[in-house]
Amino acid sequence: MNSKYIRTGETTDYSMFISPIHQRKKTDSSVKAIMSSIQEHGVIATVSCRQSIKFPSKLETYDGQHTVQACKRLGTPVVYNVFKEVSNKAMISLNGKSRKWKMEDYLHFGVVDNIFRSVVLLCFPLYLCSIIPPII
């Protein structure tokens, strides 16, 4: 497989970063943990982005959205990598490796990307199995 890497950058223009609408919600505890790390060690990781189709002047952050927020709060530059042809499926795969997606994450993705029926048919039986004890 070929590299999809385009370029690396560094900026304090935090407005150039947006989160894809189906991205998991940011948690304040994660942002604060990253802020603490940046204060102690500096910025030692990059944010991964793709060019937004809907907003061509923006970059969609698919890995590192908490880091962008932490850098913004600290006034620290964001170091980022831009990649091409990153599908939503690839983003889910990558994010699923860092923190397991919860039912809410899958359902949110399904609603936003208009595949709600498929996601519900896949996830709802698993959800029911997790909350309803077996009858034996």
Residue with tokens 């900026």: 11
| Mean pLDDT score, 21-43 | 90
**Ramachandran category for residue 114: left, alpha or beta (phi over 0 → left; psi -120 to 50 → alpha):** left
Identify whether residues 121 and 54 lie together within a single domain: no
16 and 79 together in one domain: yes
Residues 27 and 85 in one domain: yes
| Whether residue 89 sits in one domain with residue 107 | no
Q: Are residues 116 and 57 in the same domain?
A: no
CATH number at residue 43: 3.90.1530.10
What are 5-27's pLDDT values in tens digits? 999 999 999 999 998 877 777 88
Q: What is the mean pLDDT of the chain?
A: 81
Whether the model pTM is above 0.85: no
Q: Are residues 55 and 92 in the same domain?
A: yes
Judgement on whether residues 71 and 115 belong to the same structural domain of the protein:
no
The number of domains in the chain is 2
Do 31 and 79 lie in one domain? The reply is yes
Clarify whether residues 106 and 89 are in a common domain: no
For residues 116 and 123, give the distance between their C-alpha atoms in angstroms, rounded to a whole number.
10
Shared domain for 95 and 108, answered yes or no, is: no
At 42, list the tokens: 């500096």
Same-domain status, 93 and 113: no
Q: Tell me the mean pLDDT in the region 72-84.
A: 97
Residue-level pLDDT at 108: 67
Render pLDDT for 96-129 as a digit per residue (tens, 0 to 9).
Answer: 666 666 767 666 666 555 555 554 555 555 544 4
- The more confidently predicted of residues 41 and 90 is 41
Which stretches of 26-115 are DSSP H helices?
28-41, 65-74, 88-98, 103-112
> Are residues 90 and 41 part of one domain?
yes
Question: Residue 85's domain spans which residues?
Answer: 5-99
